[in-house]
A and B are shown apart, each in its own frame.
Chain A
Amino acid sequence: MGIKLAKSLKLQNDKLWSLDYSHGLLATGSTDRKIKIINVTNAPRGQVSLMDVLDDTVHKKAIRCVAWRPHSNLLAAGSFDSTVSIWTREDDLEEEEDDDEGEGTTNSLEMDLLAIIEGHENEVKGIAWSHDGALLSSCSRDKSVWIWETDQDGEEYECISVLQEHSQDVKHVVWHPELPLLASSSYDDTIRLWKDYDDDWECAAVLNGHEGTVWCSDFEKGKNGESIRLCSGSDDSTVRVWRYIDDDEDGQQEWICEAILPKVHDRQIYSVSWSTNGLIASTGSDGTLAVYKEVSNGDDEHDWEVIAKQELCHGVYEANIVKWIDINGNMMLATGGDDGCVNLWNWTD
């Protein structure tokens, strides 16, 4: 059981803020305004290849976040220049639905700009696609969370909601993997949950408890909506697990903080990721990558344990993001840091 470095890639000339994986491809975004696309199909064996570098004149400032659209080859990127760009693979426009396998045979691909979404007043901090790819959410230093609706092509975006309840900078947004439920994390130390009431999106719950900026959250996966849990990482150096209990009479969701994970970090936690098989990974300012597992403790009780820890995973630099990626059944961890590197880690249970 443990973390072992499979590959370290010096990709960017400045801070690497964000990465996202889909269909064998890893996309990265950086302060150097470059978005890079890497084929990581053979990453478990230490082989990767650079597929494309996207036009770095499109955004005028740092790329803060990247996200692949589910069931398609569209990539969304959010920038400090207040816009979100949408990119597509030209060769795929002719294709029907893509299949899950078979990527990685080509050595290059070309992605073109498809759309620019304007609306935020200043830095876009986070973007996320809903599980069906129909909705895109973005959040910004302007304290708002926006929800955009798009069509199959992903070329036209219509704003269907602007959520302004956060009192500070919104750092991150994430959708539930199966349900139309959105979580946003903020500099106001809270997480807000949003859901669709009839015609408009409304705040369904506010999670209070963190004693500092909440940088990131992630939903538990593979529960088919039977139970809903969320983990979150904060400036207060803690990772918390929250559980949805029930709706009250006014349709507001009741949530509880179910657990505070064992303390690993001594500085800000910038990123958390909940794997499909129930493990939580966290990383942050101290450069430590930690993996936690929920273990049975008697009858109905569960505790979380730290089962692996990798210090200084980007040397002396801060680590900004961690994500579990499943490459043809191989569980890996991808981290990105201020050193401009993506590190790919093999995970063994």
Chain B
Amino acid sequence: MTLKFHFPLIIQTIKNHSTIFLSVLTLEAQEYHIMSTLLSEEDLNDFISPALACTKPTVVNKEPVNVNENGEYEVTKEPTELEKVSITLSDCLACSGCITSSEEIMLSRQSYSVFLRDWEDSRATKTLCVSVAPQCRVSMAAHFQMSILELDLALVRLFREHFGARYVVGTQMGRNLTISRTNAKLMELKAQGKLNEKPMLSAICPGFVIYTEKTKPGLAPLLLNVKSPQQITGALFLDAMAEGQEMYHLTVMPCFDKKLEASRADGEHEVHCVITPKELVSMLEELELDLASFKSQDEKLLWEASPAGWDPRVHWSSNEGSSSGGYAYQYVLETQSLHPGSKMITLPGKNSNVVEYRLLDTEGHTLASAAELSGFRNIQNMVRQLDKKAVGQKRKVQVLRKRATSSMRNMNLDSKGTGNGIADPYKTDYIEVNASPGGCINGGGLLNDEQSTVRKRALAQELSELYSHSFTLVDPVKLGRQQHTTSSLEYEFHAVEQDTQKDLVTVGNTW
């Protein structure tokens, strides 16, 4: 769907009594009705906020210049109506700036209201497939005071009985593929010596991917091109469709940025609607449904809700490593299995949102390493480290002799392999990057109604603990290698050209 904007001119006085003209984007009010009322601007703080200026060029369709046969200009009237400009979600994803906020468009396109409406329309012709991310199950189980199994069964019954879903699954099958492909690619790059200079960065967190594409295009080549479990689960569902069967894939994800991921051109057919646990709870309230009334003891239901060949003991499971997917850990773990006698050590980072796994041989040399890094501040420092190149040259920074080498320098410049006990993420082979501090288990779409930051943080910590012992764990590499899919498991990244003239004056700007 497309939102329409128009561009009235307004006058704003800025400091110094001068007057300038600004273009203002105004959303047409009637386009808003499909947005769910539940979500407010505050809910959408997915930790990396968009830039202020929309850089989509506003093409004005000028009337053709009227030159008559004699080569004379004919004076015509200026068009009185301003052209309506339509901006689609893909415009936003391709843009380095952002309109009032891309979230509004994202929401209007992907919300539970949209799901309810879409599903009403296509119920007769399409097959509803539902997938639920493990972080959401932990969050909802805690919220509804159920065990994970009770919750899974209740969700299966809810989606099958109320909405007529054919399949309801966990996302581990998708994750198995993400992890095994990630490892295979990393090991190949490692063998070619391509990880010596800079690490590869995970492309699992859409918040970070979009941030990179839009604002740090120089780092886009470092994104390891393997799709997230959300998208791969959709691809696996597609494979499970019979000839002529059309899928509608609804997925429950821990953060709002996952909606943006689902809207990418390179994965649009894989996921049709993303909702968060917050929205799911609101949807149940609106429909006056009580999840507890869908409780069941009958584990056979899990099998009945799985496509042929999908073992519910696998797709509802999880694996070792971080609560965001364990990609960094699994890479080092698999490398370890290829080096008998090697030892994996865990190094804490400068703050709790950085950790490194390092694999050492018997003599203490580093064989492989990977880091988990989350939160905007850590992403900033990482970006500054990895994208450093030009600053010195560009700015003629004086290189001055130092009195002493600072401790910080020591840490950052420490060469690979010297185990000094502190994580050195920029020197590893691979960084699992997440925009939310603490990763997906702290996603903005999870059920965390605590008001104060202190309590919010405490609950996130509890959920993280809960996550670590809620699931049966599988070996994602082994399983992933046995799974097959016909779809591409790679994105098409689009580093957005930086507008060199970033002198846009935007709404709300005064000196």
Q: Give every chain B residue within 8 A of A149 (Cβ-Cβ).
A: 408
User: Is A318 positioned at the interface, with any CB of B under 8 Å from its CB?
Assistant: yes
- Of A43-51, A198-206, A225-233, A307-315, the one contacting chain B is A198-206
Whether A197 contacts B49 by the Cβ 8 Å rule is: no
Whether A143 contacts B397 by the Cβ 8 Å rule is: no
Instruction: Kindly report which residue of chain A lies nearest to residue B41, judged by CB atoms.
Output: A167
Whether B404 contacts A160 by the Cβ 8 Å rule is: no
Whether A200 contacts B351 by the Cβ 8 Å rule is: yes
A153 CA to B402 CA, complexed, in Å: 7
Q: Give every chain A residue within 8 A of B45 (Cβ-Cβ).
A: 164
A38 CA to B455 CA, complexed, in Å: 50
User: Is A121 positioned at the interface, with any CB of B under 8 Å from its CB?
Assistant: yes
Q: Give every chain B residue within 8 A of A112 (Cβ-Cβ).
A: 398, 400
Whether A122 contacts B380 by the Cβ 8 Å rule is: no
A204 CA to B391 CA, complexed, in Å: 35
User: Is A218 positioned at the interface, with any CB of B under 8 Å from its CB?
Assistant: no
Whether B409 contacts A90 by the Cβ 8 Å rule is: no
A155 CA to B154 CA, complexed, in Å: 57
Q: Give every chain B residue within 8 A of A152 (Cβ-Cβ).
A: 403-404, 406
User: Is B52 positioned at the interface, with any CB of A under 8 Å from its CB?
Assistant: yes
User: Is B469 positioned at the interface, with any CB of A under 8 Å from its CB?
Assistant: no
Instruction: Kindly report which residue of chain B lies nearest to residue A111, judged by CB atoms.
Output: B398
- Give 1 or 0 for each of A91-125: 1 = CB within 8 Å of chain B CB: 00100000000000000000011111011011000
Contact of B397 among A114, A122, A161, A268 (CB under 8 A): A114
A159 CA to B353 CA, complexed, in Å: 13
Q: Give every chain B residue within 8 A of A161 (Cβ-Cβ).
A: 377
Q: Is chain B's interface secondary structure helix, strand, loop, or mixed overall?
A: loop
Known: A113-B396, A141-B52. A199 touches B352 (CB 8 A): yes
Q: Give every chain A residue within 8 A of B508 (Cβ-Cβ).
A: 168-169, 187
Total B residues in contact with A, Cβ cutoff 8 Å:
42
Q: Give every chain A residue within 8 A of B453 (Cβ-Cβ).
A: 197, 202-203, 250
A93 CA to B401 CA, complexed, in Å: 8
User: Is B454 positioned at the interface, with any CB of A under 8 Å from its CB?
Assistant: yes
Q: Give every chain B residue within 8 A of A58 (Cβ-Cβ).
A: 395-396
Q: Give every chain A residue within 8 A of B407 (Cβ-Cβ).
A: 151
A15 CA to B381 CA, complexed, in Å: 34
Contact of B391 among A90, A116, A121, A213 (CB under 8 A): A116
Q: Give every chain B residue within 8 A of A160 (Cβ-Cβ).
A: 351, 377
Q: Give every chain B residue within 8 A of A250 (Cβ-Cβ).
A: 451-455
Q: Give every chain B residue within 8 A of A286 (Cβ-Cβ).
A: none
Whether B509 contacts A199 by the Cβ 8 Å rule is: no
User: Is A338 positioned at the interface, with any CB of B under 8 Å from its CB?
Assistant: yes
B381 CB → nearest A CB, Å: 5
Q: Give every chain A residue within 8 A of B454 (Cβ-Cβ).
A: 197, 202, 250-251
Whether B409 contacts A156 by the Cβ 8 Å rule is: yes
- Give 1 or 0 for each of A72-104: 1 = CB within 8 Å of chain B CB: 000000000000000010100100000000000
User: Is B300 positioned at the interface, with any CB of A under 8 Å from its CB?
Assistant: no
A60 CB → nearest B CB, Å: 10
Instruction: Kindly report which residue of chain B lies nearest to residue A121, judged by CB atoms.
Output: B51
User: Is A162 positioned at the interface, with any CB of B under 8 Å from its CB?
Assistant: yes
Whether B400 contacts A119 by the Cβ 8 Å rule is: no
User: Is A158 positioned at the interface, with any CB of B under 8 Å from its CB?
Assistant: yes
Whether A199 contacts B52 by the Cβ 8 Å rule is: no
User: Is B263 positioned at the interface, with any CB of A under 8 Å from its CB?
Assistant: no
Contact of A143 among B49, B396, B455 (CB under 8 A): B49
Known: A88-B400, A164-B49, A187-B510. A158 touches B16 (CB 8 A): no
Contact of A90 among B52, B400, B437 (CB under 8 A): B400
Q: Give every chain A residue within 8 A of B408 (Cβ-Cβ).
A: 149, 151, 156, 158
User: Is B15 positioned at the interface, with any CB of A under 8 Å from its CB?
Assistant: yes
Q: Give every chain A residue within 8 A of B395 (Cβ-Cβ).
A: 58, 113, 116
Q: Give every chain A residue within 8 A of B398 (Cβ-Cβ).
A: 112-114
Q: Give every chain B residue within 8 A of A197 (Cβ-Cβ).
A: 453-454, 457
Instruction: Kindly report which residue of chain A lies nearest to residue B503, judged by CB atoms.
Output: A61
Contact of A169 among B376, B406, B457, B509 (CB under 8 A): B509
Whether A162 contacts B509 by the Cβ 8 Å rule is: no
Contact of B215 among A90, A121, A199 (CB under 8 A): A121
Q: Give every chain A residue within 8 A of B455 (Cβ-Cβ).
A: 250
A213 CA to B13 CA, complexed, in Å: 14
Whether A113 contacts B397 by the Cβ 8 Å rule is: yes
Q: Please name 13 pairs of A and B residues whose Cβ atoms are closer than 8 Å in the assembled complex, sorted by A.
A: A58-B396, A119-B380, A142-B51, A152-B406, A153-B406, A155-B400, A155-B402, A156-B406, A164-B376, A203-B453, A250-B453, A250-B454, A318-B15
A residues adjacent to B (C-beta < 8 A): 15, 57-58, 88, 90, 93, 112-116, 118-119, 121-122, 141-144, 149, 151-153, 155-156, 158-162, 164, 168-169, 187, 197, 199-200, 202-203, 213, 250-252, 268, 285, 318, 338
Q: 5 smallest A-B Cβ distances: which pairs?
A: A250-B452, A151-B406, A112-B398, A159-B380, A202-B453
B residues adjacent to A (C-beta < 8 A): 15-16, 45, 49, 51-53, 215, 350-352, 376-377, 380-381, 384, 391, 395-398, 400-404, 406-409, 412, 437, 451-455, 457, 502, 508-510
